[in-house]
Structure 1
Amino acid sequence: MRVYVLSVSSSSLKLGLAELTPPVPSVGPEAVGVSECGGPDPVQDGRLDLQMTRADLPLDPHLLNGTGLDLNRALDALEMQAAAWPPADAVVTVAAWEEPAAAVSDRSQVIYVAPEHLLQAQHDLPSGAVLGNRGLRLAIAWAMRLGVPLLTVPLPQQVELPADARETGIPGLRREPRFHVLNSEMVAREAAYDVGQRFCDAAVIAAHLGSTSSVTAYQKGKVVNSTGSGLTGGPMGLRQAGPVSPATLQRLWDSDHLQMHAGAWTEFWTGEGGLRALTGYGSVRELMAAEETDPRVQAAAAAFVHQVACAVGQQCGALTIRPDAIVLTGPLARWDGVMHRLEARLSWMAPVFVVPGDLEFEAVARAAGRGLMGWAPMHSWPRELQPA
């Protein structure tokens, strides 16, 4: 199957062609059963082989303008880029509906909009779309032009943890960690496959290391704990501060750092700390280039390795068995010297896999593919189309 993956941000328009091939069962049809995650579960937990072709569309000043969108120009640009590509079975984008068709705890949820309902969707855009109405509006219009269904994959940053993982010790206050759910789950699935396990049988620790970082424990296909990311926790990232004790928070409060509105506080915590604040370098390339000569980078790298290794060890404690694999992913996974040090620190626990880069396109495509194959929940829009 083929899907076009569309991503719209404040300053970019990106398109991907994802060609997804299901696995061929090696032991006959009896290999297909029902997974503990729900839904059919073919050999190797429904691993989809993925070939991705990407394109960053050149933007003129009028195509994307702040929150605006020249819809016809954007559609023409998409059509021109995809002209040499084979036709797709669906358009896929990241978006969240204000009233999801299923419970928020259904983290693999994909929302399906049939071609005959796209016009209604165009006139009933949700105000709660994660990327704003602009990106979803463009995806709906392009699916209409192509005459194919639209799939929207939520950009899930939060899942329902087990009760014992949510307790803080302060009555009425629960942990609600937000983290890199799509990317982490995708690489955890792949790591399970690489060690010969089905994701629904495996125990995997996935660390997403980027501008913000998170480390998450999966067991039998479910999240059992996470450090969270950004304001909800996580080790140091390129821009994210690492764990801070209540005593340090008290000192920040006393120094008036916390006397700011919520948006400024979020930017302070997830945008002004981390490796960039410690070194002055804002990219992985710059950090790697300065690693041998700049003592600030050497000290920050050591602190980063320490924090990530501790976070992985902490998440191992959330498992009831020894992990089958540990996987390190995200933009900072391109930093070879640091990844080698982490592998040396962690490989006694389990095989360590390094998957560099931000894999949002791939994660969105695989999530949509699992929904189309019937391996993960997929829900129709409008909501009243759902079977009782």
Structure 2
Amino acid sequence: MSNRTFRILVINPLVHSTKIAIYENDRNIFEQDILLLEQEKDLYKQIDFRITSVTETIIDLGLNLSSIDAVCGRGGLLRPISGGTYRINDKMISDLINGINGTHVSNLGAIIAYNIANKLNVNAYIVDPVVVDEMTSLAKATGRPEIKRKSIFHALNQKFVARELAKQLDKKVENLSMIVAHLDGGVTVGAHFHGKVIDVNNGLDGEGPFSFERSGSLPNNELINLSVEAGRQMQQLKQKLIHQSGLKAYLRVNQISDVINLVQQKDTETMEALGIMAYQVAKEIGKMAAVLEGEVDAVILTGNLAKMHYLNSRIINKVSWIADVFTFPGENVLLALARGTLRVLEGKEQAKEYDF
């Protein structure tokens, strides 16, 4: 196990920008959000521009690129894999480019990291991508034998805050049972049993509580009626349910910061909408308590919506009987990527291989 200082470049591609940071071990020494000036609709045609903008930003900062020991990108829609830190390889890049499990901006994270790392002759990694699948077969079953539930959730941050709390409690995450609720553009609530997420709602496909922009679970009959409305196309319906529902639909806002401002103004309509969300999140936490058979060491609230004390308090009032509730506001993406990479560089964890 090494005591040396490692310099790690982490990359989180977003729709309109590329967030990067440089860490020395787990200390952030530089961070920047690089705006995407070329609004090319094809994600994969953005790759070269994003790579160039990242490397030029670091050079302009005055840092020697050769001082970087590893590069880590946010993981995308790969094949289902267990949690951990993975070395990026050609197979992973191929699956991301071919959209093996769908196309999303997060797919670019590994591609950008791999290209930069190859030029620097260092390893590139991803950590706990959204497709982490540790669910039990029982958890995947539904009322239709041909339909199985999928594990797509905020794995990176959920596992990060679980590790953070275990550290605070001076315990090992492998010895704890926790429920983690990530509250953001999507809402996912996971049952963490001894380091594995054995059940979680798929916030992307619409399961569970509504979020900032997603509808959450809907009554089947009403959803069918909505889908067969005259002239409605599949893509229009997906846009409505995934990007134009939740708090966006209730409050007619575009950013989470808009909701926070309305809460500060004690807007009645906002308080009511957050009350509904809190009710649904608390109910989902209760479901995961049943999954863990009542043996719950802690409940964690995280994500950007967890920055709102009003929402947190409404949830806590309903679930604190289950276990102590802890809050870790924010997404923690960059730090989580750095920490996962650092565990490998320091020899505390072995990098996994993406091998299919």
When normalised by structure 1's length, the TM-score is 0.77
1:3 aligned to which of 8, 12, 28:
8
> What is the Cα-based RMSD across aligned positions, in Å?
3.2
Q: Is the 8 A contact 1:284 1:335 kept in 2?
A: no
**Residue number in structure 2 paired with 1:75:** 55
2:35 and 2:138 map into 1 onto residues whose CA distance is 48
Q: Is the 8 A contact 1:224 1:319 kept in 2?
A: no
The offset of 1:139, in angstroms, is 2.7
Q: Is the 8 A contact 1:191 1:204 kept in 2?
A: no
Q: Does 1:363 align with 2:329?
A: no
The offset of 1:84, in angstroms, is 8.0
Largest Rg, 1 or 2 = 1
Q: Does 1:247 align with 2:221?
A: yes
**Residue number in structure 2 paired with 1:91:** 71
Q: Does 1:12 align with 2:17?
A: yes
Q: Is the 8 A contact 1:110 1:379 kept in 2?
A: yes
Structure 1 segment 29-108 matched on structure 2, within 5 A: 50-59=26-35, 61=37, 65-66=40-41, 67-68=45-46, 69-70=48-49, 72=52, 74-81=54-61, 83=63, 87-95=67-75, 104-108=80-84
2:149 and 2:321 map into 1 onto residues whose CA distance is 30
Q: Is the 8 A contact 2:76 2:109 kept in 1?
A: no
The offset of 1:237, in angstroms, is 0.8
- Decide which moves more: 340-349 or 70-79: 70-79
Q: Does 1:288 align with 2:272?
A: no
**Residue number in structure 2 paired with 1:110:** 86
2:181 and 2:108 map into 1 onto residues whose CA distance is 31
2:77 and 2:310 map into 1 onto residues whose CA distance is 41
The offset of 1:316, in angstroms, is 0.7
1:133 and 1:203 map into 2 onto residues whose CA distance is 31
- Decide which moves more: 318-327 or 268-277: 318-327
1:276 aligned to which of 216, 234, 248:
248
Which digits, 9 at most, give the CA deviation of each residue in 1:346-369, with x for residues without a partner?
Answer: 222211111111222122222222
2:7 and 2:33 map into 1 onto residues whose CA distance is 20
1:75 and 1:125 map into 2 onto residues whose CA distance is 25
2:220 and 2:152 map into 1 onto residues whose CA distance is 20
**Residue number in structure 2 paired with 1:169:** 143
Structure 2 residue matching 1:242: 3-state secondary structure: coil
Which digits, 9 at most, give the CA deviation of each residue in 1:328-375, with x for residues without a partner?
Answer: 111101112111222222222211111111222122222222333444
Which digits, 9 at most, give the CA deviation of each residue in 1:209-257, with x for residues without a partner?
Answer: 0011110000111112112212141211110113212232233235458
**Residue number in structure 1 paired with 2:300:** 327
1:313 and 1:172 map into 2 onto residues whose CA distance is 27
Change (3 A) 1:179 1:134: closer
Structure 1 residue matching 2:67: 3-state secondary structure: coil
2:199 aligned to which of 225, 238, 249:
225
1:224 and 1:52 map into 2 onto residues whose CA distance is 32
Change (3 A) 1:338 1:168: same
Q: Is the 8 A contact 1:112 1:379 kept in 2?
A: no
1:127 aligned to which of 86, 97, 107:
97
2:213 and 2:107 map into 1 onto residues whose CA distance is 28
The offset of 1:321, in angstroms, is 4.5
Structure 1 residue matching 2:306: 3-state secondary structure: helix
Q: Is the 8 A contact 1:111 1:151 kept in 2?
A: yes
Change (3 A) 1:317 1:143: same
**Residue number in structure 2 paired with 1:37:** none
Q: How many residues align?
A: 341
Change (3 A) 1:196 1:287: same
Which digits, 9 at most, give the CA deviation of each residue in 1:92-116, with x for residues without a partner?
Answer: 1124597x7xxx3322241156xxx
Q: Is the 8 A contact 1:4 1:16 kept in 2?
A: yes
Q: Is the 8 A contact 2:179 2:300 kept in 1?
A: yes
Query: What letter matches 2:282 in structure 1?
Result: A
Query: What letter matches 1:215 in structure 2?
Result: V
Q: Is the 8 A contact 2:184 2:304 kept in 1?
A: yes
The offset of 1:298, in angstroms, is 1.8
1:108 and 1:185 map into 2 onto residues whose CA distance is 9
2:182 and 2:347 map into 1 onto residues whose CA distance is 27
Change (3 A) 1:203 1:14: same
Query: What letter matches 1:7 in structure 2?
Result: N
Q: Is the 8 A contact 1:97 1:128 kept in 2?
A: no
The unaligned stretches of length 5 or more in structure 2 are 1-5
1:344 and 1:174 map into 2 onto residues whose CA distance is 33
Query: What letter matches 1:181 in structure 2?
Result: A
Structure 1 residue matching 2:173: 3-state secondary structure: coil
**Residue number in structure 1 paired with 2:313:** 340
Q: Is the 8 A contact 1:242 1:307 kept in 2?
A: no
Which digits, 9 at most, give the CA deviation of each residue in 1:98-149, with x for residues without a partner?
Answer: 7x7xxx3322241156xxxxxx89x989624764886555433432443422
The offset of 1:60, in angstroms, is 7.6
Change (3 A) 1:280 1:90: same
**Residue number in structure 1 paired with 2:3:** none
Change (3 A) 1:217 1:272: same
Structure 2 residue matching 1:230: 3-state secondary structure: coil
**Residue number in structure 1 paired with 2:133:** 159
The unaligned stretches of length 5 or more in structure 1 are 21-49, 114-119
Structure 1 residue matching 2:327: 3-state secondary structure: strand
